[in-house]
Chains A and B, each alone.
Chain A
Amino acid sequence: MVGTDLRQQLNNYIQSMRDQGILDSQFQSVQALKTEENPHFVLETITGFCSDADNGIAQMTRYLEGPVVDFTNLTGLSHFLRGSSSSIGGVRMALACRDLRRASEANNKQGCIEGMARLKHEYNSLKEGLNNISQIERQLIGNAQRGRQ
């Protein structure tokens, strides 16, 4: 059945992200929060996370590239994104945030530059995977809604 194939495709894709270390088991905990009353929970969470991360990383780049590095705000935002990314299972991104925060707390500009580059790399990997997951989720939701009609 199409639905079963799609679900298996989703599970396989998530497993591949876990095998690469991009996601951990927390993502499946988020999936488990999806209900019939709120079938869009995973999609909404992914969309919200990516929006916050896009804005946060853009802001952190400005803090780092200004005439004077704003270590205080850089520390705060890296901590914020660490929490967000770990809550969605983005373990490698969370680690990158942790390391960037440590560099920022030490007022280490070069460390922050390297940490920022790594954070962007990890976020791009995570975002690409989450976008692919979202596409499959949308198909599953659409199939379920058509099945009820």
Chain B
Amino acid sequence: MFGKGASSSKSMEIIGSEKKFSVLIVDDDPIIRKIHSALLSKFTKEIQEVKNGKEAVDLCRSGASFDIIFMDKEMPIMNGLEATKELRAMGVNSTIVGVTSCDLSSERNDFIAAGQNQCYEKPLTIEKIKSLLSELNKNN
């Protein structure tokens, strides 16, 4: 999907033209979901949103799968770290990206220990998403 073995610039072209990756946005803030969804729609049309970690877990348990899950940290019912641990325990191997309003440097270890692949400080930007996709391309 991410052009295995391709250079990063060629991979971005592939991503830009195919737009075949799926994304799940997990955040309790409807404004964040709206903005992040609009941002991500520039890269893919396959976007779903849920408002807490439990809904994300239930969705994946029902059989839905996503290439990338953008996971907020602090949410009611089930927070992002708990949801990530649950998803990994279920065998979900999506790329999980933590997104937080807190000081990222102090929280990075928590995110990685929970099983997330990467983390960003809110809000997401076009540049952060391009950087993430480029990194995923290299790793794949």
Q: Is A26 an interface residue (CB 8 A)?
A: yes
Chain B nearest CB: distance from A89 CB in Å?
9
Which segment, of A79-87, A112-120, A121-129, faces chain B? A79-87
Chain A nearest CB: distance from B18 CB in Å?
21
**107-133 of chain B: CB within 8 A of chain A:** 122-123, 125-126
Q: Can you pick out 28 interface pairs between chain A and chain B where the beta carbons lie within 8 Å of each other?
A: A26-B123, A26-B125, A29-B125, A29-B126, A33-B38, A33-B39, A41-B38, A44-B34, A45-B34, A45-B35, A48-B30, A48-B34, A49-B31, A52-B29, A79-B101, A79-B102, A80-B28, A80-B29, A83-B29, A83-B101, A84-B29, A84-B31, A86-B101, A86-B122, A86-B123, A87-B29, A87-B35, A87-B123
Where the two chains meet, the residues of B that have a C-beta atom closer than 8 Å to any C-beta of A are: 28-32, 34-35, 38-39, 72, 74, 101-102, 122-123, 125-126
**4-54 of chain A: CB within 8 A of chain B:** 26, 29-30, 33, 38, 41, 44-45, 48-49, 52
CB within 8 Å: A-B pair count: 49
| A interface secondary structure, majority | helix
Number of interface residues of A (CB under 8 A): 20
Where the two chains meet, the residues of A that have a C-beta atom closer than 8 Å to any C-beta of B are: 26, 29-30, 33, 38, 41, 44-45, 48-49, 52, 76, 79-80, 82-84, 86-88
